[in-house]
Structure 1
Amino acid sequence: MPELGDSSPPITVRSEGAAVSLGTIGWQQIILGGSQPDRSPLLLGITHIVAGERSELIKHATSEVCFVLSGNGHMVGDKAVYRFTAGDALLIEPESWHAIQADPAGDVEMLFCFPQRHIPLTHGWEALS
């Protein structure tokens, strides 16, 4: 419960934020955390991958949790390929290479969440080759 005189609301509702283009493969949007004007201790966003496309192979310094909102595809990992469908949750361990591959039949949208307010240190496979 907020203390008397505390004018900040205990609940933050956000539905906007600038979408960032991922080129021809899709877009991302930060909903909570990052540079958004909220007090979230987490970073929450949406990734949209166009049908038949694959995101860059990347890895982060921290864990990432994803929830598939719509679509079907594969999470391409450094050790295996994992099939996902709408309603699935994925836990990506720190320092694990991963990419999202959308099935040709339709786009994929998933929520992603990091246990910190800002995007963690991230490495791309292309940058290392």
Structure 2
Amino acid sequence: MLNLKQQKPKLNKICLATSDGFDFIEVNKILYCKAEGSYTEFVINNSEKLLVSKHLKEYENLLLEQDFMRVHNSYLINLKEVKKYVKSDGGYIIMNNGDIVSVTRSKKEDFIKVMSYLTN
């Protein structure tokens, strides 16, 4: 059984190297991360977007134990920022800011399980 409570201590902030310096972002303010080729776009809850020159996989490893989940090859989402899951059209997620995130078939079942644990 998946137990989300027995994980490493939560990160408060993450350092993102952008083109003009370093941004220190509170992890809980990240809505989701999107792969953009060899870059990663961070979408922050104040509608800010930051583009970082590292692959999404590097951030997946860092954020996986911080209530984030890879739901698609291109998306790593903050599970606490999920507003709704829609079953139609193959299944997709609506984030708290209204953005739509695709979910791959292979991740749907895991996503639904994890969300049921988070809400209990």
What range describes the TM-score normalised by the shorter chain of this pair? under 0.3
The structure having more radius of gyration, on CA atoms, is: 1
Higher RCO structure (Cα 8 Å, ≥6 apart): 1
* TM-score, L = length of structure 2: 0.25
